[in-house]
Structure 1
Amino acid sequence: MKSFWDTLPKPFFVMAPMADVTDVAFRALVAKRGKPDVFWTEFVSADGLYHTRPVRDKESETPGLPSAGVSNGTSEIQRSESHNSLLRDLQFAPDQRPIVAQIFSSKPETIAYAAALAEKLGFDGVDLNMGCPDRAIEKQGAGAALVKDPVLAARLIRTAKEASSLPVSVKTRIGYHKESLDEWLTALLEADPAAITLHLRTRRELSLVPAVWEQMNKAVAIRNRVNPRVLLIGNGDVQNLEDARAKVATTGCDGAMLGRAMFGNPWVFAGRKPEDAPLEEKLVALAELAYGFEKITPLKNFSILKKHIKAFVAGFDGATDLRTKLMQATSATELERAIRENQV
């Protein structure tokens, strides 16, 4: 069955899922200034979604699924009836499409529930995280730990595909202690996901060394031999759209995922570099992000925005002083006031 993946231009460029970064407010900022070809949510625990689900139907003993709805806010955020913190991370707006819900777990039962929920909430696809190196997640057997268990990883892909009609994709790494594409990527390809994003580092390397884009050439060769239908997306150290195009052209993959390149540059998918935006334009974007962030429910800690302040307010005379002032803001109103005082 065809999906949005089959309609994407080649090459395509997508938004990386980043915890406490790619929330609905940040995606709105990016969508307004140059949309990626595919949006990703922050990653969400499938176990958590399962254990905070509505009460089971007493007759069928089938886990209930919350129904989708649209908020009355200006952004018309897609929501669930329940406003718990996990479902909060699955909010999205109509202009953020196609959008993929990223989930993680090592349990087929919870993956099945979360995949069905993603379809119920109106997502265009579901992505399984098999690359996060966070120790707490690995202790659950999820994230990068799955690289060491190709059989279970393949089972989770098949389970997600059976649980909904959404296309299933995977985001992972090229190996655990060392590169193991021959075994690892082959196992994933045989499970037939719609797409695989490869962070071109091992789990051991974290992000401490440069991404090895040369490994994508090997990955493409394996894909072409095992399952040519699967799209391959490269990830790691992509500086801007120009760099993304060059990396895709050199390796032969289908697209690239941009992550840190979005920090302080919501125009990245429009082809602009950080230095292309004047300071005033950056500060307007930062204030807009802050106000959007405050509309997310349940409320998130405003201090999460500090990483964005650091990215937007850098590289110019007086940046340190202004950044220090903005870091003290505890609300969008305070942040905007500090910006205006700086412009006087």
Structure 2
Amino acid sequence: MRPYLPIRFAVAPMIDWTDRNCRYLHRRLAPHALLYTEMVVADAILHGDRDRLLGFDPAEHPLALQIGGSDPGKLAEAARIGEAFGYDEINLNVGCPSDRVQSGAFGACLMREPALVGRCLSAMREAVSVPVTVKCRIGVDEQDPKPALDAVADAAVDAGVSAIWVHARKAWLQGLSPKENREIPPLDYDRVYRLKARLPGMFVGLNGGLATVEAAAAHLTRVDGVMMGRGAYQNPSDLAHVASLIHGEPPEPIDYGAVIDDMVSYAGRHMAAGGRLSNVTRHMIGLFTGQPGARRWRQILSERAVRPGATPELIREAFAEVRLDSPAEAAA
């Protein structure tokens, strides 16, 4: 078994959200978090524009590449390519319920095929020297979550994975959209706790319904790691609490001025490479959630970043509309 990174907190892979621009912002706020790419399909890695699909800023480390697929050979080669790009971890998606993954018989569909999951993970693990992990659901459709999750977990352990991340809900492959699958199936944290108790030597991480870092931290008495998704994206400033609530460091106010300066510089580099300002600013919309002036911040970025001629200085213009609660933050 490959040794796992010293991870206690991760930001979940989220399609259309956790691209390289989003991850740069998240890293700026949470230096210790493990960040994940969006799911990238193995065939795309093998045949697509790898620099576009897999490129990242060195500041994003530690960074995991999540791959989708069900062909062990293709997954192994995709994992090998990912390692060569410099990723710190390769993760197999066994949880996404979208129509796209169903048509390709991977993602959450693999919950029904634990033996195939094991073969895929074994092939990936043999192909790379970095940790190989899996992210799964507790079951799909009418499956009984206990044997369903145990079967996939046991296959993963036998394959030599370094960690099992579990989204503590079933996925319904028929009748629910991907968005509904993140909200409607009931959470079952106890099922994940029981898995960890049954596999004391395996890293088991919990995902699903963790709206704040504080709420996530409360689970660390029962599992090894916690993973936030939508809460981290919609209120990225909460990620600044990872250092104190997860790692026990002294709490410090966010130096928003420094964050803004960094993001202006980053946006400038992104645009110089041919990108658009809105590629960066769309991930910053929730940065001042709950602060006076947040509505105006959102309005400026949403409406003006997409206009022709918009420059990174627009971020500073929007920041000038925010009135921070803390004097220390306001002075930063």
TM range (shorter): 0.7 to 0.9
Which 4+ stretches in 1 moved above 4 angstroms? Answer: 281-284, 296-307
Q: Is the 8 A contact 2:21 2:279 kept in 1?
A: no
- Deviation by residue 1:101-154 (Cα, 9 ceiling, x = unmatched): 111111222211111112222222211111112211221112111112222211
Equivalent-residue separation in structure 2 for 1:162 and 1:340 (angstroms): 48
Unaligned runs of 5+ residues in structure 2 are: 173-179, 246-251, 324-332
Q: Is the 8 A contact 1:154 1:188 kept in 2?
A: yes
Q: What's the CA shift for 1:189? A: 2.7
Larger mean Cα displacement after TM superposition, 32-41 or 287-296: 287-296
Unaligned runs of 5+ residues in structure 1 are: 53-83
Q: Is the 8 A contact 2:64 2:89 kept in 1?
A: yes
Equivalent-residue separation in structure 1 for 2:225 and 2:268 (angstroms): 33
Structure 2 CA distance for partners of 1:300 and 1:154, relative to 1, 3 Å: farther
- Deviation by residue 1:160-180 (Cα, 9 ceiling, x = unmatched): 012222221011111111423
Equivalent-residue separation in structure 2 for 1:305 and 1:28 (angstroms): 9
Equivalent-residue separation in structure 2 for 1:241 and 1:318 (angstroms): 23
Equivalent-residue separation in structure 2 for 1:32 and 1:318 (angstroms): 22
Equivalent-residue separation in structure 2 for 1:282 and 1:17 (angstroms): 25
Equivalent-residue separation in structure 2 for 1:111 and 1:203 (angstroms): 23
- Deviation by residue 1:230-283 (Cα, 9 ceiling, x = unmatched): 31111112233332221121xx211111222322324242348xxx968xx658
Q: Give the structure 2 partner of residue 36 of structure 1.
A: 32
3-state DSSP of counterpart to 1:315: coil
3-state DSSP of counterpart to 2:13: coil
- Deviation by residue 1:213-246 (Cα, 9 ceiling, x = unmatched): 122122113324xxx3x31111112233332221
Q: Give the structure 2 partner of residue 108 of structure 1.
A: 72
Counterpart mapping for 1:7-156 below 5 A:
8=6, 12-52=8-48, 84=49, 86-156=50-120
Q: Is the 8 A contact 1:16 1:257 kept in 2?
A: yes
Equivalent-residue separation in structure 1 for 2:138 and 2:285 (angstroms): 31
Q: 2:231 aligns with which of 233, 247, 261?
A: 261
Task: Tell me the TM-score normalised to structure 2 length.
Answer: 0.77
Q: Give the structure 2 partner of residue 71 of structure 1.
A: none
Q: Does residue 222 in structure 1 map to residue 198 in structure 2?
A: yes
Q: What is the RMSD of the two structures over their aligned residues, measured on CA atoms? A: 3.1
Q: Give the structure 1 partner of residue 300 of structure 2.
A: 325
Q: Give the structure 2 partner of residue 292 of structure 1.
A: 266
Q: Is the 8 A contact 2:94 2:135 kept in 1?
A: yes
Q: Give the structure 1 partner of residue 315 of structure 2.
A: 336
Q: Give the structure 2 partner of residue 60 of structure 1.
A: none
Task: Tell me the TM-score normalised to structure 1 length.
Answer: 0.74
Q: Give the structure 1 partner of residue 188 of structure 2.
A: 212
